Amino acid sequence: ETGVTQTPRHLVMGMTNKKSLKCEQHLGHNAMYWYKQSAKKPLELMFVYSLEERVENNSVPSRFSPECPNSSHLFLHLHTLQPEDSALYLCASSQVIGVGTEAFFGQGTRLTVV
Amino acid sequence: GENVEQHPSTLSVQEGDSAVIKCTYSDSASNYFPWYKQELGKGPQLIIDIRSNVGEKKDQRIAVTLNKTAKHFSLHITETQPEDSAVYFCAATLSNFGNEKLTFGTGTRLTIIP
């Protein structure tokens, strides 16, 4: 148990659905991240939040909408996704943002878009 | 931006033998190089890291070496055990005004043969 919990673990959704991924960290960290992990591709950073403010948005399509209501919770709202968005979505947290601060990852949500 | 290449993509070694995974990076300003281990059904977990002011770091059976001139770094696992079977990711990052932005390699699937 790394202290970062993601729900649901698996999600199948149609292209017209709206769903949300949830991440919760119990480590008292101030920074939270969303990553996308696709087969045979490097982990892709999507969003970074520091103290509930978004500090990084890596050219992610608007069909992905993050929300960070407080430093312990992070959501990823999904709507009108495409089949190529099927992947493992990983949430991570760290004490602060900056070099050398270890990122703790959740187990991920396996998303399948049909 | 930074580009990280990782080799090999798959590696099988006999239990007790050593395993070596290599990564190269493109941005000579990168100064922090972590290695993550991802077991089946889990998120990546930091196992060792190295900063650009040292050439080697060791932690029990795991060691990482860094060659700044050649811009490559390697993970060495000695006396491998079945529990070492996992996917390993290297990463490189540059501290940029407090933002943390890890660029990951594509991963190496390590299988330890009993």
pLDDT above 90: percentage of residues in chain A: 73
Task: Please judge whether B44 and A90 are an interchain contact, meaning their C-beta atoms are less than 8 angstroms apart.
Answer: yes
Q: Is the pLDDT of residue B93 over 60?
A: yes
Work out the number of other CB atoms within 10 angstroms of the CB of residue B109.
Answer: 14
pLDDT value of residue B31: 87
Task: Please judge whether B107 and A106 are an interchain contact, meaning their C-beta atoms are less than 8 angstroms apart.
Answer: no
Provide φ and ψ at B84, rounded to 5°.
Answer: -80, -10
Give the closest-approach CA distance of B75 to chain A in angstroms.
Answer: 17
Token pair listed for A29: 């960290």
pLDDT value of residue A3: 92
**B13-53, pLDDT tens digit by residue?**
999 999 999 999 998 888 889 999 999 989 999 999 998 88
Give the closest-approach CA distance of A1 to chain B in angstroms.
Answer: 10
Give B42's contacts in chain A (Cβ within 8 Å): 107
User: Residue A44: beta bridge partners?
Assistant: A36
Contact B62, B52 (CB under 8 A): no
**A24-54, pLDDT tens digit by residue?**
999 999 999 999 999 888 899 899 998 888 8
Q: Pick the residue with more confidence: B64 or B28?
A: B64
Residue B99 banded pLDDT, cuts 50, 70, 90: very low
Q: Is the pLDDT of residue A1 over 60?
A: no
Give the closest-approach CA distance of A41 to chain B in angstroms.
Answer: 5
pLDDT value of residue B98: 41
Across chain A, mean pLDDT equals 91
Task: Please judge whether B100 and A107 are an interchain contact, meaning their C-beta atoms are less than 8 angstroms apart.
Answer: no
Q: For residue A84, give the DSSP letter.
A: G
Q: For B23, how many CA atoms within 13 A lie in the half-sphere containing its CB?
A: 30
Task: Please judge whether A2 and B32 are an interchain contact, meaning their C-beta atoms are less than 8 angstroms apart.
Answer: no
Task: Please judge whether B104 and A42 are an interchain contact, meaning their C-beta atoms are less than 8 angstroms apart.
Answer: yes
User: Residue B74: beta bridge partners?
Assistant: B22, B65
